């Protein structure tokens, strides 16, 4: 590495920055709402340095994409949440679908500022999705008690709630099976939240990406605990990518989300396959998508590949349905069913203060 750095320094002044790349840098920084020439200069210098390190003769778009988050992250935190209005989109004809309006493979990328979204707190409960007895012993239960629920065969009996139910029902403390209640406990160890954020071109329609970013930020603020960590996987372009590796730092995640561009195709199957590699025994997956998969991985059918990848997920899952009201397909609900998870419409996210997800322990 030392030798590569020496060689890069020697060739740095010979690396060209084409005019088209300068235009791209200006457009991307202005689109992010940053009004500082220092940001432009930082990106130009950074892209030249990266190109020199890679041995390239000139800067290209891939160098710009790599450097932009590094140059913009700290600048985005000091600006107000509101941003200048985005350029008006062309009017939509009655027979035009979301995908037709925003051609994913040619539409320019845009950076949308998140809006504030009231989001519920996610509570992970230990239990079985299929009913019946759990093989988990009482000694294995941990975490703070967060509530009680009626259970004909409780794993951990809550005596007070059980007796109270019997007395309220019959006036006697004589118990029947339908009086039994069990304690509900939250996981004691930290949780890994694996977020898949669909930032493909279809989310540019009606500026839906503002709501998507706001929803992810809201969930993080209400749910993230001191021992938790977050992974963010981005679904856009020809393949999914990891935007943020596992980290406990919420500020880092928020900065990365704010500068995340929107545009391109929807590699949903690849995003789910990539997310599966980050799933642990303490993981929770949150997928924000409109379900418009159009990049295949294993077959010629992108949607079938996405359903298969969703079915392979083995952790509590929440799907936030970000489809528009027009031409809705219902595919986010199908994804949630494949993952045995919960589906909530993005527009209805603030209807509940708490969302309960079940961790299968049977």
In a domain, 87, yes or no: no
Burial of 271 (0-12, 13-18, 19+ CB in 10 A): buried
Do residues 176 and 150 lie in contact, with contact meaning Cβ atoms separated by under 8 Å? no
Same domain, 179 and 323: no
Same domain, 322 and 338: yes
> Left (φ > 0), alpha (ψ -120 to 50) or beta: where does 318 sit?
beta
- Owner of token pair 């290209």: 60
Which pLDDT tens digit goes with each residue over 205-245? 767 888 899 889 989 888 888 789 999 999 999 999 999 99
In a domain, 93, yes or no: no
In a domain, 86, yes or no: no
Same domain, 334 and 278: yes
Same domain, 208 and 106: yes
pLDDT in tens, the chain (362 residues): 999 999 999 999 999 999 999 999 998 888 887 777 888 999 999 999 999 999 999 999 999 988 988 888 776 644 333 333 343 444 444 444 444 444 444 456 788 888 888 888 888 876 654 443 333 333 344 566 777 888 888 888 889 888 988 888 888 888 988 889 888 876 556 899 999 999 988 887 767 888 899 889 989 888 888 789 999 999 999 999 999 999 999 888 988 998 899 989 999 999 999 999 999 988 999 999 999 999 999 999 999 999 999 999 999 999 999 988 777 889 999 999 999 999 999 988 877 778 888 776 55
Same domain, 166 and 236: no
Which pLDDT tens digit goes with each residue over 16-73? 999 999 999 998 888 887 777 888 999 999 999 999 999 999 999 999 988 988 888 7
In a domain, 136, yes or no: no
Taking every pair of Cα atoms in the chain, the longest distance, rounded to a whole number of angstroms, is 89
Same domain, 193 and 167: no
Same domain, 105 and 208: yes
What is the domain extent for residue 16?
2-76
- Nearest partner of 283 among 242, 309, 252, 318, judged by Cα: 318
Same domain, 114 and 228: yes
Cα 8 to Cα 127: distance, rounded to the nearest angstrom: 56
- Owner of token pair 């079985």: 128
In a domain, 257, yes or no: yes
Do residues 109 and 234 lie in contact, with contact meaning Cβ atoms separated by under 8 Å? no
Same domain, 162 and 213: no
- Owner of token pair 């600048």: 75
Q: Which two tokens stand for residue 136?
A: 């988990």
Same domain, 167 and 247: no
In a domain, 133, yes or no: no
Tell me what percent of the residues of the chain surpass a pLDDT of 90: 41
Same domain, 150 and 293: no
Does the pTM of the predicted model rise above 0.85?
no
Same domain, 288 and 352: yes
Number of structural domains in the chain: 3
In a domain, 90, yes or no: no
In a domain, 130, yes or no: no
Q: 3-state secondary structure string, 252-271?
A: HHHHHHHCCEECCCCCHHHH
CATH number at residue 273: 3.40.50.410
DSSP-derived secondary structure for 108-122 = PPEEPPP-----PEE
Q: Which two tokens stand for residue 277?
A: 């590699």
């Amino acid at each position: 590495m030392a030798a590569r750095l020496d060689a890069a320094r020697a060739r740095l002044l010979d690396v060209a920055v084409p005019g088209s790349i300068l235009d791209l840098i200006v457009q991307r920084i202005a689109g992010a709402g940053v009004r500082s020439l220092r940001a432009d200069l930082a990106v130009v210098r950074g892209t030249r340095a990266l190109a020199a390190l890679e041995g390239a003769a000139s800067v290209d778009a891939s160098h710009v994409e790599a450097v932009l988050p590094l140059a913009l992250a700290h600048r985005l935190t000091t600006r107000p949440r509101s941003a200048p209005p985005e350029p008006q989109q062309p009017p939509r004809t009655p027979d035009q679908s979301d995908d037709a309006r925003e051609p994913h493979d040619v539409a320019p990328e845009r950076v949308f500022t998140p809006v504030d979204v009231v989001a519920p707190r996610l509570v992970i409960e230990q239990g079985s999705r299929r009913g019946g007895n759990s093989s988990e012993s009482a000694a294995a239960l941990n975490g703070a008690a967060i509530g009680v629920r009626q259970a004909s065969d409780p794993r951990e009996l809550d005596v007070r709630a059980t007796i109270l139910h019997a007395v309220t029902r019959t006036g006697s403390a004589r118990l029947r099976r339908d009086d039994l209640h069990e304690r509900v406990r939250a996981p004691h160890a930290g949780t890994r939240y694996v977020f898949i954020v669909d930032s493909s071109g279809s989310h540019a329609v009606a500026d839906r990406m503002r709501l998507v970013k706001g929803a992810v930020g809201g969930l993080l603020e209400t749910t993230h605990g001191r021992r938790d960590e977050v992974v963010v996987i981005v679904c856009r372009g020809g393949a999914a990518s990891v935007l943020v590796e596992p980290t406990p730092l919420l500020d880092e995640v928020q900065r990365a989300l704010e500068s995340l561009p929107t545009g391109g195709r929807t590699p949903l199957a690849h995003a789910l396959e990539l997310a599966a590699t980050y799933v642990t025994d303490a993981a929770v997956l949150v997928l924000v998508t409109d379900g418009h998969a159009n990049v295949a991985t294993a077959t010629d059918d992108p949607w079938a590949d996405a359903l298969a990848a969703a079915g392979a997920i083995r952790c509590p899952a929440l799907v936030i349905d970000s489809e528009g009201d027009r031409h809705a397909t219902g595919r986010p609900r199908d994804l949630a069913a494949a993952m045995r998870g919960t589906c909530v419409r993005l527009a209805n996210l603030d209807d509940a203060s708490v969302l309960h997800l079940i961790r299968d322990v049977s």
